[in-house]
Chains A and B, each alone.
Chain A
Amino acid sequence: GDSVTQKEGLVTLTEGLPVMLNCTYQTIYSNAFLFWYVHYLNESPRLLLKSSTDNKRTEHQGFHATLHKSSSSFHLQKSSAQLSDSALYYCALLNTGYQNFYFGKGTSLTVIP
């Protein structure tokens, strides 16, 4: 069945360094719809960015990701980490019925001064 793997459970970075959070997925369908959700402490998870187009970069709030169907990956990147980026990040795959999401286990990002 469909699944999402986020290798890193915890990532600690110094402010100003680049961010890269890994996400790979598995699906039996040719179409893949990938999402990144961000969950700040004491808030609700919310959509950060999404993509369904192969090899096209999508950007939002300084973060970017490119869906690579050849490697089944959708890594989240940012050129320079900020303290305010500290949060839990979920990668998610949408099934082809457009109804159910498969969430990864999440990566907790902590940015330190």
Chain B
Amino acid sequence: EAAVTQSPRSKVAVTGGKVTLSCHQTNNHDYMYWYRQDTGHGLRLIHYSYVADSTEKGDIPDGYKASRPSQENFSLILELASLSQTAVYFCASSSGTGGYNYAEQFFGPGTRLTVL
């Protein structure tokens, strides 16, 4: 079964501090994604990557950086955390190739980030 893990599972950060959220997948998938989930907004794409050492901006990239050092690992970095970044963050992976039938995204358990 596909496996996506995230760490930490929850974090409390101070405004202006640096936060790094990590994601690891053992699916051998090329594509990895970072989403944030907020009530009333659903899942919104922050950054994604389709190959190691390359990242792409999603729909709401401002205030976030991403890093993909290897196929298995994808990090989300908040250089200067702000109150508005309090949310639940989900990482996901997908094959990304082979068309529609292989497009299913597999999600991690989420990281609850609270910025005070």
| Residue positions of A touching B, CB distance < 8 A | 6, 9, 33, 35, 37, 43-47, 50, 52, 90, 94, 98-101, 103-106
Contact = CB atoms under 8 A, between A and B. Distances in A.
Contact of B40 (A9, A43, A45, A47): A9
Contacts of A45: 43, 90, 107
Interface in B97-115: 97-100, 102-110
Nearest to B50: A99
Interface residues of B, number: 28
9 contacts: A6-B42, A46-B106, A50-B100, A90-B42, A98-B98, A100-B48, A101-B103, A103-B45, A105-B40
B74 interface: no
A101 B105 contact: yes
A6 B40 CA distance: 11
- State the main secondary structure of chain A at its contact with B: loop
Contacts of B106: 44, 46
Contacts of B45: 100-101, 103
Given A45-B43, A106-B42, A106-B43, A98 B90 contact: no
Nearest to A51: B100
B100 A104 contact: no
Interface string B16-49: 0000000000000001000100001111110010
B90 A90 contact: no
B90 A105 contact: no
B61 interface: no
A99 B31 contact: yes
A113 to B, nearest CB: 25
B40 A98 contact: no
B96 A98 contact: yes
